[in-house]
Structure 1
Amino acid sequence: MSLTSSLYAGASGLVANAASMAAISDNIANTNTTAYKRNQINFSSMVSAQLVQGRYSASGVEAITRSFVSNQGSIQGATNPTDLAIGGAGFFVVTDKATAVTEQDPRFFTRSGSFNVDADGFLKNDAGFYLQGWLADEDGNISPDPSDLNQMNTINIKNIGAQVQPSTEVIINANLDKRGVTGSVGPAGYNAATTASMADYAVNPTTGTKPDFAFTMNIVDSSGGIRRIAMAFLQDTTANTWFAEIYAVPDSDVVGGVRPGQIASGLVRFNPDGSFDQANTTLFGAPGNDPNFAIAASSAAVGVRFAPALGIEAADIDLDLRNFTQFSALSVVNSLNPDGATVGNVIGVEVTEDGKVSALLDNGLVRLVAQIGLATFPNPDELAAVSGNAYSQSSRSGEYSIKQPKLGGAGLIESSALEASNVDLGTEFTSLIVTQRAYSASSKIIVTADQMLEELINIKR
């Protein structure tokens, strides 16, 4: 009968409003949860078939949960460079374990980017999920495969170990005094191939020929060690011409040269305007050769090479002499800028907008580690929520698509930032009052229907 149905309608109202209260409570409790997405209970009427004309049977109300997963929260600044926010529709791909992740292990999706480097070097968020990405190979190359989640691995910052970058170039800004050291004539007795060389003078000043000007530069070898290389100059009687040698300091670092420690010898010439004349310079081999000197590996059998005891690889150094001049001013080195880096260890992390994760080393190097991949869904509001403010794919959410950040609507990644909860407290407190009143009204339906049934029962008396 319709009176009994009103009891059930009131009961359904209690259940629906209790569910609404639970959703509101969750929303309020997670106001400060990173990237939390609010839930809302919507009400839908239920109608039963009216079998007897003129009689109405109440069917009550049904509670339907709606998740606002696709509604992005505001982006707020953070101090940790591994705090990451997504400006777009993507989700971080995460797992609940760091290593030995197999195809059978579940992947979860989250926008909670509060990642930190744990004790083992893995990027792990506050909920205990590990960030996945495409790892770089030893040469720093990344091959993203958006079609297969199993090609992604847990990102580790510390397992790259110490890094070394051997020197390959030295930029020299220097001047040789065109007036000469004393204004005298040329270098009597100088011979680069005998004990009269400038390399010999560097070993023993009682022998060899003293240069008019010399300077040393530090290069980094293949093992991260520092090797000192000198360039020495002696002015010739021919205008704009200098005898020059390149040699190792100490001389024992290099073997196989014409003289101890000697790497190269020849002439350095300048144009009348004081600029470097590469076309007529023979220090680097044939006239016109690029300014470059090479030292073979310690294992080499012939030629100028590193001493066998050093056990290091070959060095090939380009000299940038565009700012090497000959003016009537004191001989001086204004600057020496060699590249290369000695042994370095990880001291920080850098994440770019396109998701590239790099390790910052204390020797100044930046080593590319991985690239983050972002997942998108046709209907993200239907993802299945799991503990830890994450989601799993459901039949109603549609299949995931893995994309590189900044491509295909996945969005860009903001480092040192976090997405705030999309909960509005004003809305929630208003809904709290409305829900409370609705719950009271539903309970009143039950009380009133019960009184009416009591009256009906009392008719028999």
Structure 2
Amino acid sequence: MSLYASLYSGVSGLSAYSSALGMISDNIVNVNTIGYKETRASFTTLVTESRSTTSYSPGGVQSIPQSLISRQGLLQSSASATDLSIDGAGFFVVGETPSAVTESSSISFTRAGSFTPDEEGYLKNTAGLYLMGFPIASDGTITQNREISALQPINVSGLTGTAEASTSVTLRANLQSTQPISAQEATYTGLAGFSMADGSVTSDFQRDVTVYDSLGTAHTVTIAALKSSTANEWHVELFVDPAAEVSTVAPLHNGQIATGTLAFNSDGTIDLSNTSAALLNPVGVTWTTSGSNGALADPSTLTFDFGTDGTGDGFTQFDSLSTLISSSVDGAVFGNVTGVSIGEDGVVTALFDNGLTREVAQLPVAVFQNPDGLTRRQGNSYTVSDQSGEFALQIAGTGGAGFVAPSTLEASTVDLSKEFTELITTQRAFSASTKIITTADEMLSELNNIKR
């Protein structure tokens, strides 16, 4: 009977608009929640099938929540370097505990990037979720497979006091082409008593660079050059001063780690094909002491870069004063962590009190085929669902992923004016549904009064 169907139709309206009121309420109270995504109530009809063209059977209405997770919120500036947002598609990967990821069920995804260090140095947001990333090794390498098993919580405090041994020395210098040939060059052999390392031969050019061993102790490596009587060639010695800091093997002596000749082309650029292999190949260094306590460091392997063959980006031989233009040495001893910086590519860099920096991790950006299908979780985070599809961990700015925006926070997508308007219309619709019920009730009462 249509009266009863109308009664149930009104009840469905009460249920639908009550549910809609709950969604609006959540939106309003989360207007200031970082990274919150609005949920909208979509209404659809409930139809009771009827093949009759002369009668109608009411069905009602139901409300279906529509999550607008993919909608971008306004990015607001922040004073904290660890406040993060994503400019574009994607989510930060977070874990519930500060431990390595073992399976995908132990992670979730969020746009709420208000991360701060906890008492152990782990970065976590206001919901207590820990930021996850791929660790960067001391040599700068990072995992290429981007599997979840490689994810680890971001923690930079553990780097305090660590050291990184030097492996590469890059040099740029000029050796004066018109340098007079020293009389000592005639007896120079590079061996003991006839070398620049022991002082028996005076060098035409000499400069020092500082390298570090595995314990972080600084050592001085001297680059000494003597012009050869052979055209476009220079004798070069690499030695450690003081010599007692390294163990040398004959015929090397007095701290020497490599000797040979450096050759140049007629245009003043370096000629690597005629340069001694001993200078170009990695040099093994065995340290005999590291620091005043006599601790021994691991042996080092140093590579000296004298430039690219036939170019002027390294050592040159022009008619200007011999000088060291620049030098670059990797490795260092790291002090206390004083801060963290994060780039648009998601690379996390630790800043130390001695002015050094080190890249420690890279944040992946998780992307989905249908982010609006994600399942909501406590703490403004999401997990994978059948509707969302599987995720892919991308480097920021690649594969459809947005860029990481440091020192910003993504505001809630809630529009208060719109929500209050929806609140009014929902309230009116709810009141109208109650009128349906009371009217149907009055009509049923009239039917009961027919038989008295």
TM-score after normalising by structure 1: 0.73
Q: Verify the 8 A CA contact 1:274 1:325 in the aligned structure 2.
A: yes
- How far residue 141 of structure 1 moved from its aligned partner, in angstroms, is 3.6
% of aligned pairs identical? 33
- Counterpart secondary structure, 1:13: helix
Match of 1:424 in 2: 415
Match of 1:187 in 2: 184
- Report 1:232-247 matches (<5 A): 232-233=224-225, 245-247=237-239
Query: 189-198 or 30-39: which moved more?
Result: 189-198
- Counterpart secondary structure, 2:306: strand
The equivalent position to 1:435 in structure 2, one of 405, 426, 431, is 426
The AA in structure 1 aligned to 2:283 is A
Q: Verify the 8 A CA contact 2:366 2:392 in the aligned structure 1.
A: yes
Q: Verify the 8 A CA contact 2:175 2:205 in the aligned structure 1.
A: no
- Counterpart secondary structure, 1:84: strand
Aligned partners of 2:411, 2:67: CA distance in 1, in Å?
16
Match of 1:205 in 2: none
The AA in structure 2 aligned to 1:294 is V
Per-residue CA deviations over 1:386-433 (Å, capped at 9, x if unaligned) read 2212233445x2542334247996523323244433323332222122
Cα pair distance change 1:375/1:131, threshold 3 Å: farther
The AA in structure 2 aligned to 1:142 is T
Cα pair distance change 1:145/1:174, threshold 3 Å: closer
Q: Verify the 8 A CA contact 2:83 2:409 in the aligned structure 1.
A: no
Match of 1:350 in 2: 342
The AA in structure 2 aligned to 1:200 is D
Match of 1:199 in 2: 197
Aligned partners of 1:51, 1:342: CA distance in 2, in Å?
83
> Does residue 316 of structure 1 match 2:336?
no
> Does residue 156 of structure 1 match 2:145?
no
The equivalent position to 1:249 in structure 2, one of 241, 248, 272, is 241
Structure 2, unpaired ranges of 5+: 289-293
- Counterpart secondary structure, 2:303: strand
Per-residue CA deviations over 1:253-284 (Å, capped at 9, x if unaligned) read 23435553344556667677666666776xx4
- Report 1:338-417 matches (<5 A): 338-344=328-334, 347-353=339-345, 357-362=347-352, 364=356, 366-367=358-359, 369-370=361-362, 372=364, 374-378=366-370, 380-395=371-386, 397=387, 399-405=389-395, 410-416=400-406, 417=408
The AA in structure 1 aligned to 2:210 is N
Per-residue CA deviations over 1:212-258 (Å, capped at 9, x if unaligned) read 54332222334332221223455677877766544322122234355
- Counterpart secondary structure, 2:426: helix
- Counterpart secondary structure, 2:184: coil
The AA in structure 1 aligned to 2:39 is N
Match of 2:291 in 1: none
Structure 1, unpaired ranges of 5+: 202-207, 300-307
Match of 2:38 in 1: 38
Match of 2:143 in 1: 142
TM-score after normalising by structure 2: 0.74
- Counterpart secondary structure, 2:31: coil
Cα pair distance change 1:318/1:29, threshold 3 Å: same
- Counterpart secondary structure, 2:21: helix
Per-residue CA deviations over 1:2-33 (Å, capped at 9, x if unaligned) read 55665554444333323222221221222232
Q: Verify the 8 A CA contact 1:341 1:364 in the aligned structure 2.
A: no
Q: Verify the 8 A CA contact 2:92 2:366 in the aligned structure 1.
A: yes
The AA in structure 2 aligned to 1:413 is F
Aligned partners of 1:381, 1:48: CA distance in 2, in Å?
30
- How far residue 434 of structure 1 moved from its aligned partner, in angstroms, is 1.5
Aligned partners of 2:271, 2:51: CA distance in 1, in Å?
107
- Counterpart secondary structure, 1:385: strand
Aligned partners of 1:264, 1:30: CA distance in 2, in Å?
67
Q: Verify the 8 A CA contact 2:36 2:380 in the aligned structure 1.
A: yes
Could you say which structure has the larger radius of gyration?
A: 1
**Count of equivalent residues:** 430
Cα pair distance change 1:421/1:219, threshold 3 Å: same
The equivalent position to 2:254 in structure 1, one of 214, 236, 260, is 260
- Counterpart secondary structure, 1:435: helix
Aligned partners of 1:382, 1:293: CA distance in 2, in Å?
54
Aligned partners of 2:150, 2:401: CA distance in 1, in Å?
19
